Amino acid sequence: MVRPGRRGGVTSRDVARVAGLSQSTVSRVLQGNTNVTPGARAKVLAALEETGYAPNLLARAMKTHSTGTIGVVVSNITNPFYPQMLQALSMAMERADRRLTLFIGDGAGERAALDAIRQRLVDGVVFTTATTSSRPLREAMDHGAPVVLVNRAVEGLPCDQITTDNVDGSAQVADYLMAAGRRRVGLLNGPQEASTAREREAGFVDRWRQLGGEVDPALAVRGDFSYQAGYAAALDMVSRPRPPEVIYSASDSMALGVVNGLRACGVAVPEDMWVVSFDDIEPARWEVFSLTTVRQPMVEMADKAVELLLNRIADPGAPLRAVRLPTHLVVRGSTAHFRV
């Protein structure tokens, strides 16, 4: 093991010196270039081993204009949906030999990630929570920033987008509740800036009305996808003169709050109140929740997002792609195992 001289560590020049060859040749061996004699290659390999060389990837990135790092923006990492998405994204990136730089937070995270593209720190960015109103995102598009949206869509934004069939998932919920005879539904919708929220709301309401159901506007409230919002909504709905028979939450994260809020009020699920939601995150299947919920194929979403982003980076001019994956209702104990 040759001790590095300066703070910078061993360079390819050091390796070249040890091998008795030029730095170019070392670089060629590193790049798998075939124009190297077996003898030279062997010397370089030995020198690489002896010096414990690790390439300076900043320098490489300077030349190649590619850092091998992808940014990921999540709004709130303590919402369990995002760790699961992040896990899936991380695995897909690892397979593609890419690193993941994480940006947490809605506005600030988004801006920081977009800056990182311009600053050449990341090759592209995955947005898990894009909102319609994001001006920085639109501006980044004008500059051709390599971006992919997963989970949420933003109409008219010229980038690749991966979503799931939120409308159909919600329609399945409507079908299910109508067949079960639960007509008085409390709707806990998500924030209007989120496409997921809009689609899940419309998907349910449209089908529900088609089926002859009614939606009491007094029982339609809006949360921000947080546990706290679900908790508060549960307390609110329960205190109404005529409470709903079932609460349909636009996300599992809010549904966890709903179930706990109901428990705090002494309202039993499913005996006194049914709960249905969307996502099928891990806690949904825990006994204490046992949520009937619409499953999104997280791993497929993440895989597709990474695939499209890498394609986009490799070929910025390729036609835009919009992928929509199917969803399906998973029935569990929070609706008393009623099966249609």
Partner DNA sequence: CTGAAAGCGCTTACAG
**Interacting residue ranges for DNA, rule: CB under 7 A:** 6, 8-13, 21-25, 27-28, 30-31, 34-37, 39-40, 53, 55-56, 59-60, 62-64
Examine residue 256 and tell whether it contacts its own copies (CB under 8 A).
yes
The token duo for 314 is 């490799």
Question: Which of DNA, its own copies, none sits in contact with 21, Cβ below 5 to 8 A by type?
Answer: DNA
- Give the rounded distance of the alpha carbon of 290 from its chain centre: 23
Examine residue 119 and tell whether it contacts its own copies (CB under 8 A).
yes
Examine residue 58 and tell whether it contacts its own copies (CB under 8 A).
yes
Examine residue 135 and tell whether it contacts its own copies (CB under 8 A).
no
Full DSSP string of 251-290: SHHHHHHHHHHHHHTT--TTTT-EEEEEE--GGGGSTTT-
| Residue of 77, 189, 73, 90 lying closest to 131 (CA atoms) | 73
CB of 19 to DNA, least distance (A): 8
Alpha carbons 16 and 312: distance in angstroms, whole number: 36
Examine residue 263 and tell whether it contacts its own copies (CB under 8 A).
yes
Question: Which segment (92-100, 129-137, 184-192, 212-220) binds its own copies by CB under 8 A?
Answer: 92-100
Cβ closer to DNA: 63 or 339?
63
Q: For the chain, how many helices (H) and strands (E)?
A: 12, 12
Alpha carbons 69 and 285: distance in angstroms, whole number: 34
Examine residue 82 and tell whether it contacts its own copies (CB under 8 A).
yes
Judged by CB under 8 A, the residue of 288, 314, 320, 340 near its own copies is: 288
Residues 6+ apart with CB under 8 A from 95: none
Cβ closer to DNA: 8 or 241?
8
Judged by CB under 8 A, the residue of 42, 45, 108, 314 near its own copies is: 108
Examine residue 337 and tell whether it contacts its own copies (CB under 8 A).
no
Judged by CB under 8 A, the residue of 5, 33, 95, 118 near its own copies is: 118
Residues 6+ apart with CB under 8 A from 279: 81, 251, 252, 253, 293, 294, 295, 296
Full DSSP string of 120-167: TS-SEEEESS--TT-HHHHHHHHTT--EEEESS--TT-SSEEEEE-HH
Q: Which residues bind its own copies (CB under 8 A)?
A: 7-9, 54-59, 61-62, 65, 67, 69, 77-78, 80, 82-84, 86-87, 90-91, 94, 99-105, 108, 112, 115-116, 118-121, 227, 256, 259-261, 263-264, 282-283, 286-289
